[in-house]
Amino acid sequence: MAKDPILDRVILKVSDGDEIRFRDMAAGGCLVLGGLGSGKTKNVGEMVSNAILSGPYGCAVFSVKGDEPEDWRQRIAKHHREPDKIEFGPHSSVRFDPIAYMVATSDPETLTEVIAELFNSLIAVGKIYQPSSGERYFEEAVSELVRAAVVGLSAAEEPVSVASIHDLIISLPQTPEEIDSPEWQASFCGRVVQKIRANQDRFSKGKWGDLDVALNHLLRRFPALDTRTRSNVESTLTGLCSKFLYEPFRSMFCSGHYDFTPEQLTHEHKILLILWPLLEVGRDTGRLCQVLMKLILCRAWGRHQYRPGCCHGAFLYIDEAAFLMSRMDTYFHMICRSSAVVPFLLMQNILTISGDEFGEQTPGSKTLGFLGLIGTKIFLANNETQTNNYAADQIGKEWRDVSNWNAGASEQHHHTGFGGSQQLVHLVEPTAFTQLLRPDGEQPLAEGIVHMSGRIFEATKTPNRPRGLPYLRVHFSR
């Protein structure tokens, strides 16, 4: 069978007989776990980034750390990929209005739901996942409000953006009776309603049915809610939108224009540097902007089905990935293989996602379910015990013979005894991960243990163990 030049390209050669190809990493993604100074970024990360840039792939790079943008600029220059580089950040002139892109590329019949889902995903960023009836109510209330706003703005032929949704929401009537006042009719929401009524003869029966539901919610049901409930729903939504009402965010995200598309990364091998280091632009704002871009990219790529020769494939490269988790991550890791996209994640330990994203005091079913989707894992030196226990469990256990003996004596006699049993023990004990080699000023190597779902490594096959092992110790150089 002929090799696919995209899927079968080698990303990492881990021994003379073992390779990690693009198709291996695309099976749920690749996760690198290691403590501070273990070599995640400067060893494994740099080797993978060089493989990306020397190959035909596109890549979206999310910069959580301040030194990351310059490191990537140098690598891009080294591999002569400057023509493919797109820098998107507060100091660039590149614009990307996510809703304008969605309006242009989504099915008009489902656009409203897609935008409502985007807002709900963004509102959840940074919140600990703790499902409750109260939280569910506010999620549904926000979705209903966004849905009605999008339907109303579209019918009035107003541009749909984060800013216009915000302006519509803050100008809603405070009571159902207020819609008759001249002051309210002069507001932004009042003018939108007037445009809709002026154009009502142009709407189909189905469109007018949608508008009837939307206007009833905006002008009657929502204003009639209890004041405290209404203000909570409204402040949840406007609080999110307000971050994009100031420069440079308004120009970058609410201009009605987009200077690049996610498809350019997969089909034109563009390298997108998303330059929002958290300590430079603010932790919450930097996280929100990057998660927004990640959601748009993943949704666009997920719609595309890879066929040999159709595109170049792409990487989603995220260092300190736990900061940029979203509710869509689990689903995207399920489908990324069919889209020829590799989520390449680097993080310190599994507790960073179990608590912040899934609300689990210790890694539970949600955390383990997400980690179980990722087919390639590289474990570096780590002092976090639950991560090391997870790594040992992931690699597996085997039965080993354990001998025992005893001896005793008394005035009458002496006795000795020998015996043995089999015990199920880890192939790699958790303590082994605390002893892996770290790079330092004297030597550049980072030692890691590689595990790939369903893989037996050729380098581990010996006369005493002809079937080999499901893990491999590898030294990654800078």
274-307: per-residue pLDDT in tens?
998 888 888 888 899 999 999 999 999 999 999 9
Residues 225 and 286 reside in one and the same domain: no
Residues 279 and 405 reside in one and the same domain: yes
Of the three residues 221, 249, 277, the one that is the final residue of a domain is 249
Instruction: Give the pLDDT score at 422.
Output: 85
Residues 375/28, Cβ–Cβ less than 8 Å: yes
Beta carbons within 10 angstroms of residue 357's beta carbon? 25
- Is pLDDT of 53 > 80? yes
Instruction: Give the pLDDT score at 369.
Output: 93
Per-residue model confidence as pLDDT tens digits over 399-453: 888 777 777 776 667 767 777 788 899 999 999 999 999 999 889 999 999 999 9
Give how many domains the chain has, as a whole number.
2
* Cis peptide bond upstream of 248, omega within 30: yes
**For the chain, how many residues are written?**
478
Provide the domain limits for residue 453. Answer: 10-94+260-476
Residues 136 and 194 reside in one and the same domain: yes
Q: Which two tokens mark 9?
A: 């390209």
Q: Which two tokens mark 448?
A: 């890691």
Q: Which two tokens mark 385?
A: 């015990």
Give dist(CA 67, CA 46) in Å, integer.
Answer: 13
Instruction: Give the pLDDT score at 354.
Output: 79
Residues 399/422, Cβ–Cβ less than 8 Å: yes
Residues 19 and 126 reside in one and the same domain: no
Q: Which two tokens mark 272?
A: 């997108």
Residues 160 and 197 reside in one and the same domain: yes
Q: Are strands 397-409 and 414-426 parallel, antiparallel or unpaired?
A: antiparallel
Residues 59/72, Cβ–Cβ less than 8 Å: no
Give dist(CA 192, CA 200) in Å, integer.
Answer: 12
Residues 47 and 122 reside in one and the same domain: no
Give dist(CA 116, CA 283) in Å, integer.
Answer: 24
Residues 363 and 334 reside in one and the same domain: yes
Q: Is residue 254 part of a domain?
A: no
Instruction: Give the pLDDT score at 130.
Output: 57
Instruction: Give the pLDDT score at 137.
Output: 83
Residues 128 and 70 reside in one and the same domain: no
**3-class DSSP state for residue 417?**
strand
Q: Is residue 235 part of a domain?
A: yes
Alpha-helical regions (H) of 124-178: 133-155, 162-170
Residues 245 and 337 reside in one and the same domain: no
Mention every residue, 6+ apart, whose C-beta is less than 8 A from residue 200: 208, 211
Residues 378/450, Cβ–Cβ less than 8 Å: yes
Give dist(CA 115, CA 102) in Å, integer.
Answer: 8
Q: Is residue 298 part of a domain?
A: yes
Nearest to 239 by CA among 180, 164, 302, 170: 170
Q: Is residue 128 part of a domain?
A: yes
Alpha-helical regions (H) of 217-277: 227-242, 249-253, 262-267
β-sheet bridge partners, residue 452? 376
Q: Is residue 335 part of a domain?
A: yes
Residues 157 and 303 reside in one and the same domain: no
Q: Are strands 446-452 and 471-476 parallel, antiparallel or unpaired?
A: antiparallel
Place of tokens 């703790």: 130
Residues 225 and 297 reside in one and the same domain: no
Instruction: Give the pLDDT score at 60.
Output: 98
Q: What is the CATH number of the domain that holds 39?
A: 3.40.50.300
Residues 266 and 400 reside in one and the same domain: yes
Q: Is residue 276 part of a domain?
A: yes
Mention every residue, 6+ apart, whose C-beta is less than 8 A from residue 372: none
Give dist(CA 337, CA 23) in Å, integer.
Answer: 7
Per-residue model confidence as pLDDT tens digits over 96-111: 999 999 999 999 889 9
- Is pLDDT of 69 > 70? yes
Residues 54/75, Cβ–Cβ less than 8 Å: no
> pTM score, two decimals?
0.92
Q: Is residue 1 part of a domain?
A: no
